[in-house]
Structure 1
Amino acid sequence: MRAAAPPGTRRSTVVTDDDARLTVYTDGPSHAGVTAILSHGYLMTADVWRLQARELSARGVRVVRYDQRAHGTSDPGHAALTIDRLGADLAHIIDATTPQGPIVLAGHSMGGMAALTVAARQPELIRRRNPHVALISTACSRAQLAPGNHPRHWIKAAVRASYSYPLCWMPPAADAVRRRLPNRHPWALRPEAQHHDDIPPPGRQAIRHTPTEQIAELWQSLRTYTTADQLHALDALDDQVEIITGELDDWIPLSQTRELARQLPNARVHAPVAGAGHRLPTNRFGHAAVTQVLSGMAEAALRAPESTAAAPTRLRGVPI
């Protein structure tokens, strides 16, 4: 069952330079001292942040969530669907919704890659806004089919390849199959379906409007993406950057989290959350840990928006 919507959720639209209309959901007081901007992952919607939006807005933090282009109720625009484009979208969201004041940026999975891309491609924005940044279950290198070298990992890789490659090479055939799936199936294609609520559509509706060709285009970008050796502006924020993951994440394995930590030696790296998988913001073991990190960042940004924040309490877990 979905959690109750945060009170006072407000829906709006940000139009990008290629005419993509990105749906934005804002919670909390309009004139809060700090804003948290939350970016979701591949084949998800802004609904993945529902628990954090409720908790943070109740504490007086303004929360901005949005559906990534070609996800949820946001359209794909005219530009190629790449991680670079998602990074440019995030920069648009920051400038359009929160042109000034302390900010916390949090990205989960592909949303974290968008944040890393902003740091790599627009370092002046990072220097100018001096954000606190939470990188959640994300990586600075390309998506992997196999999360490790154990035999069960190769089985998972084979299963993923069995549907990812047909999606990439036979989009029209995939669309024909998707149109015949039950309406509640997460891969069902229903371009005519509408979502009129002010709250984000649930994750199972993330790609109900999205043709397979666009999904495949973004997947191919994920498979070639890297921001390694390009994160100097982000590393200069020192301990305003925090990295958190789940110990059982089999989409962004711990080896990629360690690589991200090597790229950001000044970041705070939390012990992996015990028992948690990839979908950390809603995971029963991980959602409280994510909320704790974001709450600590918001408090630190509010206390000292122009200076390095004090260290939050470390999370319980196992060594990374």
Structure 2
Amino acid sequence: MSQHPTPKTVGILGGVLGLAAAGAAVGVAVTRAAGRRVTAAQLGPAAELETIEPTDRPEAVQREDDPLGAASRAADTTALVQTPDGVLLSVEEVGPQDAPLTVVFVHGYCLSMASWTFQRRDLGAAVATANGHRPDARLVFYDQRGHGSSGRGPAEHSTINQLADDLVAVLDARAPRGPVVLVGHSMGGMTVLSLAARRPDLFGGRVVGVGLVSTSSGGLSDLSFGLPHLLTRFSAAVFPIAGYTMRHRPQWAERTRRVARDVVSAVVKTMSFAGPDVDPALVRYVDAMIAGTPVDVIGEFYPAIAGLDASAAIEPLTRVPVLVLSGDADKLIPQGHSDRIVARIEEAGTPDAPPDLEYVVVPDSGHLVLLQHPAEVTAAVTRLLRRVGQRARS
């Protein structure tokens, strides 16, 4: 006689499948916890990376283990910024506070400010020697709430609008005067777009430039993530189970994440990068950042990302120089989302005032283009800063 599964068994199985599907779909629900360091000699030619040793705390991405060593992670200033609802955000700055321009970098979903490590090193060196005497810009990096070393807020505040308010708090505390350029990756780009929709008065005045890297203005709920149609339908069916498990049974979900880490680490590589020749150290580095993000934070923010609608952000972007950058093989937020942002900005311009826009598509790159092809991203951001400077001088 066949035995039918009990409701409890179905619930457990659904949770496992949900977490696995979430990982397969977005590369974040289950990952391998990187528990060992590797030396530069083990890494190959791609990058001088070390993996980060995670802990059970949100601040799992330890700054002393930044992948490019002490020289690249040096901060002239570290600070905590308190948001209106009391969350403390961790901030690090490179360059003097009286620099004529401030560039604020906003990281993506399940990552941390450490995701900008190459840009931090290379742009920091560039601005420090820009005129031979005094840095032309100050670079500001911070961890979004629930990520990296920053604190956590109530679950109901896990929204993109709240992240935009947090960005305002960072600006008010760390860049209260002078022009600012905002550069956001993935969820960080959504944060910048949400700010433009909620506070259009800032753009063209306080905010003088915007960089949007591998991001979207909405329509993310129907993504296929490059999966076959059947798997897409399956993952959509179990996502609610995964989300519920991560939000309400985080300890169980964390255990599931550890059990499945070796299987889904390969999925993280596939979903985050492009091509077969990705340095394993990059994958381990991303695994470690994701492992430092609590599963309930992952579950709390996913609905906000899937339900994003930042279409009202487009008009404010026509007032400032804009960079839109995407990898041509991005499975998480496909290039078409960047295409739409660019098309809408161009449509919002006028013959007398066309938008100041550069669109860069990086070949052979996935969602984490800032790590896979850092030189291209740094060069594009540098050109954005030059355009901002040229406009200021004209």
Q: TM-score range by the shorter chain?
A: 0.7 to 0.9
Secondary structure of the 2:195 match is helix
- Write out per-residue CA displacement over residues 256-290 of structure 1, whole angstroms, 9 at most, x where no aligned residue: 1122112211352424111011111111xx31111
SS of the residue corresponding to residue 190 of structure 2 reads: helix
Amino acid at match of 1:64: V
Please list every run of 5 or more consecutive structure 2 residues that lacks an aligned counterpart in the other structure.
Answer: 1-48, 50-66, 128-136, 265-284, 347-354
Cα root mean square deviation, aligned: 2.8
CA contact (8 A) 2:342 2:359 kept: no
Match of 2:379 in 1: 292
Aligned residues: 287
The 8 Å contact of residues 203 and 319 in structure 2, kept in 1 or not, is answered as no
Corresponding residue of 2:36 = none
Q: Which residue of 2 aligns with 1:167?
A: 242
CA-CA distance at 1:160 after TM superposition: 5.1
Q: Which has the larger radius of gyration?
A: 2
**8 Å CA contact 2:189, 2:212 repeated in 1:** yes
1:277 aligns with 2:366: yes
Closer/same/farther in 2, CA of residues 153 and 87 from structure 1, 3 Å limit: farther
Which residues in structure 2 correspond to 1:35-50 (within 5 Å)? 35-50=102-117
Deviation at 1:101, TM superposition (A): 1.9
1:35, 1:104 within 8 Å by CA — same for their partners in 2? Answer: yes
**What SS does the aligned partner of 2:362 have?**
coil
Name 2:341's counterpart in structure 1. Answer: 260
- 1:75, CA displacement in angstroms? 1.3
1:219 is aligned to 302
Instruction: Give the CA deviation at 1:181.
Output: 5.4
Are 2:80 and 2:88, in contact at CA under 8 Å, matched by a contact in 1? yes
Q: Can you list the C-alpha shifts for 1:127-183, whole angstroms capped at 9, x where unaligned?
A: 3214211111111013245347x7x44366357547743331223445314147559
Relative distance call for 1:49 and 1:130 in structure 2 (3 A) is: same
Do structure 1's residue 99 and structure 2's residue 176 form an aligned pair?
A: yes
Percent identity reads 27
- 1:8 corresponds to 2:74: yes
Give secondary structure in 2 for the equivalent of 1:89: helix
What's the offset of the Cα at 1:98? Answer: 1.1
Point out which structure has higher relative CO (alpha carbons under 8 A, 6+ apart). 2
Per the alignment, residue 138 of structure 1 pairs with: 215
Which among 112, 134, 146 is matched to residue 70 of structure 1?
A: 146
1:58 corresponds to which residue? Answer: 125
Residues in 2 aligned to 1:66 and 1:234: alpha-carbon distance in whole angstroms: 23
Deviation at 1:221, TM superposition (A): 0.8
CA gap of 1:207–1:7, structure 2 versus 1, over 3 A, is closer
Structure 2 SS opposite 1:272: strand
Call closer, same or farther: CA 1:250–1:101 in 2, change over 3 Å. same
Quote the residue 1:301 is aligned against: 388
Moved more, 168-177 or 14-23: 168-177
In structure 2, do the counterparts of structure 1 residues 209 and 75 end up closer, same or farther at CA, with 3 Å as the change threshold? farther
Q: TM-score, normalised by structure 1?
A: 0.80
> What do the CA deviations read for 1:76-107 (whole angstroms, capped 9, x no partner)?
22451001111111111122111122322100
In the superposition, relative to structure 1, how do residues 297 and 264 fare at CA in structure 2: closer, same or farther (>3 Å)?
A: same
- Pick the aligned partner of 1:18 from 85, 101, 111: 85
Q: How far does the alpha carbon of each residue in 1:115-137 deviate from its partner, in whole angstroms, 9 at most, with x for none?
A: 00110001112232142111111
Deviation readout 1:187-213 (Å, 9 max, x if unpaired): 9xxxxxxxxxxxxxx644545565433
CA contact (8 A) 2:323 2:381 kept: no
Task: Determine the structure 2 residue equivalent to 1:242.
Answer: 323
Deviates more, 1:268-277 or 1:215-224: 268-277
Confirm or deny that 1:123 pairs with 2:200.
yes
Which one-letter code corresponds to 1:242 in the other structure?
L
Whole-angstrom CA distance in 2 between matches of 1:250 and 1:182: 24
User: Would you say the 8 A contact 1:167–1:212 is kept in 2?
Assistant: no
Q: TM-score, normalised by structure 2?
A: 0.66
Q: Does 1:228 align with 2:311?
A: yes
**Structure-1 separation of matches of 2:219 and 2:188:** 14
- Supply the AA of the counterpart residue of 1:20: V
Q: Which runs of 5+ in 1 are unaligned?
A: 188-201, 308-320
Residue number in structure 2 paired with 1:191: none
